[in-house]
Amino acid sequence: MAIRIGTSEPGGTFNMQGEAVAALLRKKHDVEIFPSDGASVASANGLHAGTLDFGFSAANWVGRAMRGGDPFAQPIDIRMAGPANVGPMFYVVRAESGLKTVDDMRGRRVSVNVRDSGMYQHVRTIFGALGIAFDAFEPVYLNFADGAAALRAGEIDVQWQCPIPNPVMTELANSTDVRVLDYAPGQLEAVLEAAGYYRRAVMEKGCFRGVGRDTPQVGVFNVITTHARVPDALVREFVATMIDNADALGKTQPLYKGLAGLYRELKTEGRALFEPGGVPLHPGAVRAYRDAGLLG
């Protein structure tokens, strides 16, 4: 049977992660990748409609999807398969820009990704935690590739970027002198306290051209979801494939570099770690984690 996986736009974080998992699953199955600009929302809606079996999502969306909160039209019987990664999200500017911190974006043109995307929601959450009104700057609704092109051309002042490595950011950094904005003292801590699904992440010096020092940023916990109707055996095989290949995935796709460590955390912290927003693990996923000795 075909396994249908919802991801982000081609070249985006979720798309690259989905393709890496699909390459493993294709040894036994037909696998179809369904990219979308609004990855987290589109994946949840695809699970509800029965057009997807699995979907990549930022953790902040899954509880809302289960409860039918905005922008979802109805509650979705969504279930957790497991983690994808924790990656830094950040604001990037041209190197000659006078902007230094997140506060400096007031009154500027900021690409916030497409409306109703997971990345757009992160901007709203972060600005809300910092007390920055959304009308304090000029939001521009562009996907990652178009946003990078607009920044390169000087049509916007700031672009909100997804976790690295991603080819859009690599191409932008290699063709344009860029910098990453910092958080003012206490701001990062305020965001982490306000939104429990974020973690502190560090962009390491040299991660792309223009990052000259280690830079603390907001890290998003990205996950893989499924639906209650998806057969236990299929979910078990999907999750077991990721567990068995966690180290290999980290070597072939750097976005999965910390995946094995997240599985180790499950063993020590318990299943709530993989149930953001109160969304329960699918029974097939529970079986896979127990088979691997990661759950009692």
Q: Which pLDDT score, from 0 to 100, does residue 183 have?
A: 97
Q: Which pLDDT score, from 0 to 100, does residue 164 have?
A: 87
Q: Are strands 109-111 and 138-140 parallel, antiparallel or unpaired?
A: parallel
Q: Which pLDDT score, from 0 to 100, does residue 208 have?
A: 95
Q: Which pLDDT score, from 0 to 100, does residue 60 have?
A: 87
Q: Are strands 215-227 and 54-58 parallel, antiparallel or unpaired?
A: antiparallel
**How far is 22 from 19, CA to CA, in rounded Å?**
5
Q: Which pLDDT score, from 0 to 100, does residue 41 have?
A: 92
SS3 53: coil
* Domains of the chain (ranges, CATH numbers): 2-86+221-291 (3.40.190.10), 87-220 (3.40.190.10)
Each residue's pLDDT tens digit, 153-185: 999 999 999 888 888 999 999 999 999 999 999
Query: Is the predicted pLDDT of residue 288 greater than 90, yes or no?
Result: yes
SS3 71: coil
Cβ atoms 32, 5 nearer than 8 A: yes
Q: Which pLDDT score, from 0 to 100, does residue 133 have?
A: 93
Q: Which residues contact 261 (CB under 8 A, 6 or more apart)?
A: none
For 223, the token pair is 């996950």
Average pLDDT rounded to a whole number, residues 275-282: 96
Of 252, 216, 264, give the one whose Cα is nearest residue 83.
264
Please tell me the pTM assigned to this model.
0.82
Cβ atoms 195, 125 nearer than 8 A: yes
Backbone angles phi, psi at 227, to 5 degrees: -125, 155
SS3 92: strand
Query: Is the predicted pLDDT of residue 116 greater than 80, yes or no?
Result: no
Each residue's pLDDT tens digit, 254-272: 999 899 999 999 999 999 9
pLDDT tier, 46 (very low <50, low <70, confident <90, very high otherwise): very high
Average pLDDT, rounded, for the chain:
94
**How far is 242 from 20, CA to CA, in rounded Å?**
10
Cβ atoms 85, 17 nearer than 8 A: yes
pLDDT tier, 72 (very low <50, low <70, confident <90, very high otherwise): very high
Each residue's pLDDT tens digit, 133-154: 999 999 999 999 999 999 999 9
Q: Which pLDDT score, from 0 to 100, does residue 115 have?
A: 87
pLDDT tier, 199 (very low <50, low <70, confident <90, very high otherwise): confident
Q: Which pLDDT score, from 0 to 100, does residue 107 have?
A: 96
pLDDT tier, 118 (very low <50, low <70, confident <90, very high otherwise): confident
**Exposed / middle / buried, residue 145 (Cβ in 10 Å: 0-12, 13-18, 19+):** middle
Cβ atoms 258, 207 nearer than 8 A: no
Average pLDDT rounded to a whole number, residues 2-29: 94
**How far is 241 from 24, CA to CA, in rounded Å?**
7
Residue 204 CB coordination number (10 Å): 13
Each residue's pLDDT tens digit, 86-102: 989 999 999 999 999 99
